[in-house]
């Protein structure tokens, strides 16, 4: 039996734009995702988050469902364009009230609320003013964070600033696969810095609470032991992982990454004192993990025409690991999760880690043995990491509900609970029942 500590936190996760719908209600105004999804060609089948899972209206039933599954914690995100529709200035009370109602409902069911302040829905007016490539967005984020914190700190203990800033910066500003859809590698590197700065400023505005950040570090290994492959792994690790982890935990950008990026930027956007703000102590680090990467340095000498998210490492080739894949095309390899957790705890002074997302997209509806196998394998990997001394304190399955999977629209189903998008009917899949049992027993 793989038993976890009795205090281990068991939860599930979602995010605002992916489930809430009600995109123009109670004063909410467009985010970059509303604008991006409305533009033909950006999201598969022209899907949008206008209705999504209609969670804005059905949150009470959804919380009841969480209680039925025995969840101890629920990770959700707060939509900035509901709370502060223009991205600055007056707070919209009706938007804030939604989160107050949600939090109260969770607390009444003894489910710990785990809000994330930014899961990619930037108010469009801030993008019009330069988005994350502009320094001012970091300051705006800190103001917004303080407003939400003031309203809810009496009932929320654990706060996460950002979800996966790698995606915000590189998919949003380098490849354009995500909103705002820009293809400007230099802007992506500025976005990295302003996201980190916004995190640090927000964290200091929320003192008195436990504050963390969620990253999606990539577990990278070289295809062979050749010098080229080792260098490819170093480069990807640099621009996927250390570009965030080193500022956060060591108050510095890694010298090799700065060098890899010399043709893109001279880092003039970094001002004195910024790194000190960014490196304020973290109470926890959230880790989202889906799949690892194997890389090779034998790629083309010149970057391919299609923009790569790995700015400065465009010629690195990603190698097929020969494992089964989910419908996202992501290889299933749970050993990457234990290796990643061990590495993070070894290389950085993390005091507490949480897996804030982990899960799999499969097409099956009620009987999802493949999702159960995925979750089972990855929870075993978590258990291995704990046995190796990693301070892993909790696990959130992605996702509670089938939902709007960004550029893939509704084509990818990650839910423990099936959602019929025509009727909004929720049906727990076998994996939901299985997970409820894991929680009840405290392990596998
Ligand atoms: C992560 C996102 C989350 C979801 C999963 C599948 O990158 O944080 O919103 O889309 O991937």
d(CA 295, CA 308) in angstroms, rounded, equals 14
Task: Identify the pLDDT of residue 286.
Answer: 99
Average pLDDT (346-361) is 98
Task: Identify the pLDDT of residue 150.
Answer: 98
For residue 216, give the ligand 1 atom closest to its CA. 7
Encode pLDDT of 81-108 as tens digits. Answer: 999 999 999 999 999 999 999 999 999 9
432 close to 69: Cβ distance less than 8 angstroms: yes
Type and span of the H or E element at 396: strand 392-398
Give me the residues paired with residue 220 across strands. 293
Instruction: Kindly give the distance from the C-alpha atom of residue 74 to the centroid of ligand 1, in angstroms, as a whole number.
Output: 15
Task: Identify the pLDDT of residue 305.
Answer: 73
Which residues, including other chains, have CB under 8 Å from residue 257's CB and lie 6 or more apart?
A: 238, 239, 242, 243, 246, 312
For residue 306, what pLDDT band results from cuts at 50, 70 and 90? confident
Encode pLDDT of 31-64 as tens digits. Answer: 999 999 999 999 999 999 999 999 999 999 999 9
Collapsing DSSP to helix, strand or coil, 285 comes out as strand
Which residues, including other chains, have CB under 8 Å from residue 345's CB and lie 6 or more apart?
A: 353, 385, 389, 390, 391
For residue 412, give the ligand 1 atom closest to its CA. 6
Task: Identify the pLDDT of residue 299.
Answer: 78
* Whether the bond into 399 is cis, omega within 30 of 0: yes
d(CA 357, CA 392) in angstroms, rounded, equals 13
Instruction: Kindly give the distance from the C-alpha atom of residue 225 to the centroid of ligand 1, in angstroms, as a whole number.
Output: 32
Q: Which of 184, 74, 77 is nearest to 127 (CA)?
A: 184
d(CA 207, CA 215) in angstroms, rounded, equals 21
Domain chopping of the chain, boundaries: 9-441
Q: How many CB atoms lie within 10 A of CB 267?
A: 14
Residue 355 has pLDDT above 90, yes or no: yes
Our mutation pick for probing the ligand 1 site, out of 167, 215, 357, 416, counting the most ligand atoms within 8 A of Cβ, is 357
Instruction: Kindly give the distance from the C-alpha atom of residue 288 to the centroid of ligand 1, in angstroms, as a whole number.
Output: 8
Instruction: Kindly give the distance from the C-alpha atom of residue 214 to the centroid of ligand 1, in angstroms, as a whole number.
Output: 11
Instruction: Kindly give the distance from the C-alpha atom of residue 188 to the centroid of ligand 1, in angstroms, as a whole number.
Output: 19
Average pLDDT (254-262) is 98
* For ligand 1, atom 9: residue with the closest CA: 15
Residue 382: phi and psi, rounded to 5, are -65, -45
Both tokens of residue 133?
């490539």
Task: Identify the pLDDT of residue 364.
Answer: 85
Q: Is 322 exposed, middle or buried (0-12, 13-18, 19+ CB in 10 A)?
A: exposed
* Exposure letters 95-114 (e unless 16+ CB within 10 A, then b): bbebbeebbebbeeeebbbb
For residue 414, give the ligand 1 atom closest to its CA. 6
Encode pLDDT of 110-128 as tens digits. Answer: 999 999 999 999 999 999 9
d(CA 249, CA 49) in angstroms, rounded, equals 35
Residue 303 has pLDDT above 80, yes or no: no
Question: 357, 365, 405, 437: which is the annotated catalytic residue?
Answer: 357
Residue 428 CA to chain centroid, in angstroms?
24
Evaluate if pTM is beyond 0.85. yes
Within 6 A (CB) of ligand 1 lie 15, 18, 163-164, 167, 216, 288, 357, 398, 405-406, 414
CATH no. for 9-441:
3.20.20.80
Instruction: Kindly give the distance from the C-alpha atom of residue 113 to the centroid of ligand 1, in angstroms, as a whole number.
Output: 19
In terms of DSSP H, where are the helices of 20-179? 32-38, 55-69, 80-83, 93-108, 124-128, 136-152, 165-166, 172-173
Q: How many CB atoms lie within 10 A of CB 179?
A: 28
Looking from the CA of 279 toward its CB, the CA atoms found within 13 Å total 15
For residue 163, give the ligand 1 atom closest to its CA. 8
Encode pLDDT of 59-73 as tens digits. Answer: 999 999 999 999 999
Task: List the beta strands (DSSP E) in 269-308.
Answer: 284-288, 293-296
For residue 405, give the ligand 1 atom closest to its CA. 10
Phi/psi-derived region of residue 87, left when phi > 0, alpha when psi is between -120 and 50, beta in every other case: left
Our mutation pick for probing the ligand 1 site, out of 37, 328, 406, counting the most ligand atoms within 8 A of Cβ, is 406
Q: Which of 147, 243, 145 is nearest to 203 (CA)?
A: 145
Both tokens of residue 333?
């390899």
Cα distances from 141 to residues 7, 28, 157, 319, 370, in angstroms, run: 32, 17, 20, 38, 39
* For ligand 1, atom 4: residue with the closest CA: 405
Task: Identify the pLDDT of residue 239.
Answer: 98
Q: Is 357 a catalytic residue?
A: yes
Q: How many CB atoms lie within 10 A of CB 40?
A: 7
Task: Identify the pLDDT of residue 3.
Answer: 96
Residue 302 has pLDDT above 90, yes or no: no
Give me the residues paired with residue 428 across strands. 417
């Amino acid at each position: 039996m793989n038993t976890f500590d009795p205090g281990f936190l068991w939860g599930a996760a979602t995010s605002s734009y992916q489930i809430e719908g009600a995109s123009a209600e109670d004063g909410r105004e467009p985010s970059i995702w509303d604008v991006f999804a409305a533009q033909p060609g950006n999201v598969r089948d022209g899907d949008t988050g206008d209705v999504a899972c209609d969670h804005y209206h059905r949150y009470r039933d959804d919380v009841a469902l969480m209680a039925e599954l025995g969840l101890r914690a629920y990770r959700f995100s707060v939509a900035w364009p509901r709370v502060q529709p223009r991205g600055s200035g007056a707070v919209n009370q009706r938007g804030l009230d939604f989160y107050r109602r949600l939090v109260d409902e969770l607390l009444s069911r003894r489910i710990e609320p785990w809000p994330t302040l930014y899961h990619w829905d930037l108010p469009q007016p801030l993008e019009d003013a330069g988005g994350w490539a502009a320094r001012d967005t970091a300051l705006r984020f800190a103001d917004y964070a303080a407003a939400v914190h003031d309203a809810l700190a009496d009932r929320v203990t654990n706060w996460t600033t950002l979800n996966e800033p790698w995606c915000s910066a590189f998919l949003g500003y380098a490849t354009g696969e995500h909103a705002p859809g820009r293809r400007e590698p230099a802007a992506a590197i500025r976005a990295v810095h302003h996201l980190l700065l916004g995190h640090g400023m927000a964290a200091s505005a929320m003192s008195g609470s436990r504050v963390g950040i969620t990253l999606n570090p990539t577990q990278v290994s070289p295809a062979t032991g050749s010098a080229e492959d080792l260098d490819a792994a170093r480069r990807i690790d640099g621009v996927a992982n250390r570009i965030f982890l080193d500022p956060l935990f060591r108050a510095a950008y890694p010298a090799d990454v700065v060098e890899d990026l010399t043709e893109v930027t001279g880092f003039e956007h970094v001002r004195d004192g910024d790194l000190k703000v960014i490196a304020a102590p973290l109470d926890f680090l959230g880790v989202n993990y889906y799949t690892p990467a194997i890389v090779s340095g034998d790629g083309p000498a010149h970057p391919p025409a299609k923009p790569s998210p790995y700015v400065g490492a465009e010629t690195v080739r990603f190698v097929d690991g020969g494992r089964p894949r989910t419908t996202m095309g992501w290889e299933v390899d749970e050993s990457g999760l234990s290796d990643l957790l061990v590495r993070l705890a070894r290389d950085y002074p993390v005091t507490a880690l949480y897996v804030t997302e982990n899960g799999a997209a499969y097409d099956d509806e009620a009987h999802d043995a493949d999702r159960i196998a995925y979750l089972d394998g990855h929870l075993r990997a978590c258990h291995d990491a704990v046995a190796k001394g990693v301070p892993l304190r909790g696990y959130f399955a992605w996702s509670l509900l089938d939902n709007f999977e960004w550029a893939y629209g509704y084509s990818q189903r990650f839910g423990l609970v099936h959602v019929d998008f025509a009727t909004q009917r929720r049906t727990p899949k076998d994996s939901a029942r299985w997970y409820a049992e894991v929680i009840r027993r405290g392990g596998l």
